[in-house]
Chain A
Amino acid sequence: GENVEQHPSTLSVQEGDSAVIKCTYSDSASNYFPWYKQELGKRPQLIIDIRSNVGEKKDQRIAVTLNKTAKHFSLHITETQPEDSAVYFCAASGNAGNMLTFGGGTRLMVKP
C-alpha cells in the first residue's frame, strides 16, 4: 500500500518568513495530493490540493509543488502570520476508493 512520509515534524518560523513542508510517497499510481490544516481541537480542513497532471499550484500565500519522478511534493507558505500556526498534513491517493494516506503531520509555529 501507499506510504507517505512528512518532514519536518515541527517547524518554527518568524512572522513574515516562509515555511516549507515536504512529503514523499511510495506508490507511483498516486495521482491526488491534498494538504490539510488542523488547528488544536478542530477538524482537518483542506487548504490546497494538486493532481498529478500539474506541477505547481498557487493560492494567494500558499503553493504546492509536485515532482512525480522523485515522488515528492511540498507545501510553501509565504509571508507567514501567527494564524498560520497549526498542524499541517499532506496526503496521497490514487486508488479506486479514493482513499487518502496521510503523512505524520508538521506542527508549524509562527512567532510574532
Chain B
Amino acid sequence: NAGVTQTPKFRVLKTGQSMTLLCAQDMNHEYMYWYRQDPGMGLRLIHYSVGEGTTAKGEVPDGYNVSRLKKQNFLLGLESAAPSQTSVYFCASSYPTGPFSNQPQHFGDGTRLSIL
C-alpha cells in the first residue's frame, strides 16, 4: 500500500513549456486535491475532484488544468509554464462518507518544480 504517489519528484522547465504532474493513490479514495506551497507559506488549493470524471476550481486555479479520468489518478497540467508557477506541488486524497463529512487528507511527497 503506497498511499499517495507523485511523479516526477523534481522538474526544471523553461518558460512557455508544458508538463503534466501525476498523482496516483491506491486507497480507493473518492476525493483528490492539488495544492501548491510557496516558500514560507501554507498550502493553497489549485483544483480538486470529488470523483472520477469530476473536477472543480480551488483558490488559485489560473494557469492550471486537471483531469480525473480514473478514480486512482489525478493529473495536473501546466499548458504554458511561467516563473510564478515555481513551487512545490502536493497532491492529497481523502475518503469522505459524504458531502460535509470531512475525513483526513493524505498527502504525497510533493513535486518540486522550477521554471526558468
Chain A residues near B (Cβ < 8 Å): 1, 6, 31-32, 34, 42-46, 49, 51, 89, 93-105
Q: Check B103 against A98 for contact (C-beta < 8 Å).
A: yes
B72 in contact (CB, < 8 A): no
Report B73-112 residues with CB < 8 Å from chain A CB.
90, 94, 96, 99-110
Report B10-37 residues with CB < 8 Å from chain A CB.
31, 33
Q: Check B43 against A102 for contact (C-beta < 8 Å).
A: yes
Chain B residues near A (Cβ < 8 Å): 31, 33, 40-45, 48, 50, 56, 58-59, 90, 94, 96, 99-110
Where chain B touches its partner, the secondary structure class is loop
Q: Check B33 against A99 for contact (C-beta < 8 Å).
A: yes
Report if A100-B96 is in contact (Cβ < 8 Å); known contacts: A45-B107, A105-B40.
no
CB contacts (< 8 Å) of A46 on chain B: these are 104-106
Report if A31-B104 is in contact (Cβ < 8 Å); known contacts: A89-B43, A97-B56, A99-B33.
no
